[in-house]
A and B are shown apart, each in its own frame.
Chain A
Amino acid sequence: RKEVEQDPGPFNVPEGATVAFNCTYSNSASQSFFWYRQDCRKEPKLLMSVYSSGNEDGRFTAQLNRASQYISLLIRDSKLSDSATYLCVVNNVGSYIPTFGRGTSLIVHP
């Protein structure tokens, strides 16, 4: 089993839709989690950190479920500009090398 797994998609959704992605991780000692966004032919950029209590930033909500070992990203009222690949990143206790998921592709269409 891969250490961090994501559904590659693509998720094709119309503007205004709500879409959610999950990312599962295998190491129960994982301690910090992030969602990054990567546009085509661009570098990854931090979208948001994922806190134990969950966190929200505008249309974006991130949740952590330690019991089931996954994190989620919810995007409400999708915009065309949300089209990108969303990368899940996990840091494990005692390791300074983050593990990146392969990413989930989102395509928002008119």
Chain B
Amino acid sequence: GAGVSQSPSNKVTEKGKDVELRCDPISGHTALYWYRQRLGQGLEFLIYFQGNSAPDKSGLPSDRFSAERTGESVSTLTIQRTQQEDSAVYLCASSWTAQETQYFGPGTRLLVL
């Protein structure tokens, strides 16, 4: 079946612009995670969605970052007024429920000039 998909695969933007990243999880997966991975670094948790429960936003680095998820489907991560330090790969992962195997999308490579 289809895996996790993300779009765009690459995004180059100018400092100060807003960007929106999209994630389509595996159908039926109730848990969805966003991570950030800077070059040569580990995965940094950003936000977690579980079904219709309130998301865990504890990993969002600033109020410029926000995310939404429609039910148990698509999620979007929005970064407002992008900064150069936002340059990274943004990875989305989904799983049947929390604590189960996570399946990652290919990521969006964001470059802020």
Contacts and interface: CB of A to CB of B under 8 A. Distances in A.
B68 interface: no
Interface stretch (B12-20, B69-77, B78-86, B100-108): B100-108
B91 interface: yes
A42 B43 contact: no
Interface string A8-38: 0000000000000000000000011010000
Interface string A67-105: 000000000000000000001010100001110111100
Q: Which of A49, A97, A101 has the most CB of B within 10 A?
A: A97
Contacts of B105: 43
B45 A97 contact: yes
A69 B91 CA distance: 28
Contacts of B50: 96
- In this complex, the interface size class of chain A, counting residues with CB under 8 Å from chain B, is 10 to 19
Contacts of A91: 98-99
Interface in A46-69: 46, 49
B42 A100 contact: yes
B26 interface: no
Interface residues of B, number: 21
A34 B31 CA distance: 17
Interface of B: 31, 33, 41-43, 45, 48, 50, 56, 58-59, 91, 98-99, 101-107
Interface of A: 31-32, 34, 42-46, 49, 87, 89, 91, 96-98, 100-103
Closest 10 CB pairs of A and B: A96-B98, A43-B104, A102-B42, A100-B43, A91-B99, A44-B104, A46-B101, A43-B106, A43-B107, A97-B45
